[in-house]
A = this chain, B = another copy of it.
């Protein structure tokens, strides 16, 4: 049983009584066993001691909505109307994706996320065995789901659902417990109601949560009303989606009544500010969601609509845009954005022992190099983490007590090979090679 300790560090704890602490943190195997001003044991009790001076330690970031393999399409289509972007750029290329492409695209995203301080992510895509395999190799934590689109003949729908169930069964609790799974109708506008009901039944059978896109654009909400006579929240509630623990991505266009329904069912919302701005979807009503006590977390969405996986940027966007758009300078303060990016992200995927630096929590945490101009003066490190930091300030990353990034280098994956293979996949997809 390996015991080690960080001394002389600055820690963002997520403990409201003591949010920033100078001192030390001890880890045994995959768990934080102590955090406080002074070491609980003589230093020679520990197998290893790390000098934490000039580092800011904080919980690893949790990205609650991603399609990691879409990194292969980063920069392939920008500044386009949504339908043009989807129909002329994304869908034709994604239609050509093989398992091989999903493997290398996912690994490209995983390296970017890990080096940038994200320790857990949610992924909804196809060829999910490849994603799970990549997660296992990387050492990262993930909540994975095969997103199914039901705009196809019944026998294809059935095959997809069987595949999604099999994936969820095969990987739930695997990779030393680092992988959990969910069931996912892709969206109310891509799945007929009876198909959504079948997926809900499968989630009940497997005792798994449900993840879906919801109310990303005003158009989609209107289409739902036109087609089904209800806005998406009522529609999904009626189909039983919220009878399971549920995480919805986007939720940009909500009425007060819909917010009440989400609260009633304890539905968790993955706010994707960067993607919502870039695709001109709008600005989610996050201050109202937080006021209602709804669990809100942050997602990057896929790297083709962001176009990076920097969760510090998502936390900063969450803290900035709601102030600017509402006119309220205290909307989404720094500590709220920090919670959304860490502990509330973990809770949003039902991980209760991830997302804080406290004894008993899993040892998923990161270190930032704060010996840099934009972290001076040393006024308020939560402010600095939200309003000044970026993914590139992260130097060390641990997941489940294991060091995965050291001094900016990923220890578990071969970055040079991943970059080479991802580039090759893209070139083959566009027919250049």
Contacts and interface: CB of A to CB of B under 8 A. Distances in A.
Given A373-B115, A379-B426, A392-B392, A326 B280 contact: yes
Interface in A402-418: 415, 418
A218 B324 CA distance: 12
A422 interface: yes
Interface residues of chain A: helix, strand, loop or mixed (majority):
helix
A377 B423 contact: yes
B373 A419 contact: yes
Contacts of A279: 323, 329
Given A279-B329, A393-B392, A426 B377 contact: yes
Contacts of A282: 324, 327
Nearest to A107: B373
A316 B334 CA distance: 20
Contact of A76 (B76, B379, B425): B379
Nearest to A273: B324
A329 B280 contact: yes
A101 to B, nearest CB: 11
A388 interface: yes
Interface in A29-85: 71-76, 78-82, 85
A391 B324 CA distance: 23
Given A277-B321, A277-B324, A330-B81, A75 B380 contact: yes
Contact of A334 (B78, B317, B423): B78
21 contacts: A73-B379, A74-B376, A75-B377, A75-B379, A75-B383, A76-B377, A78-B387, A79-B330, A80-B330, A82-B329, A218-B327, A277-B323, A278-B320, A279-B323, A280-B327, A283-B325, A310-B390, A317-B320, A371-B419, A377-B426, A378-B423
Interface of A: 71-76, 78-82, 85, 108-109, 111-112, 115, 218, 274, 276-283, 303, 306-310, 313, 317, 319-321, 323-331, 333-334, 371-374, 376-381, 383-384, 387-388, 390-393, 415, 418-419, 422-423, 425-427
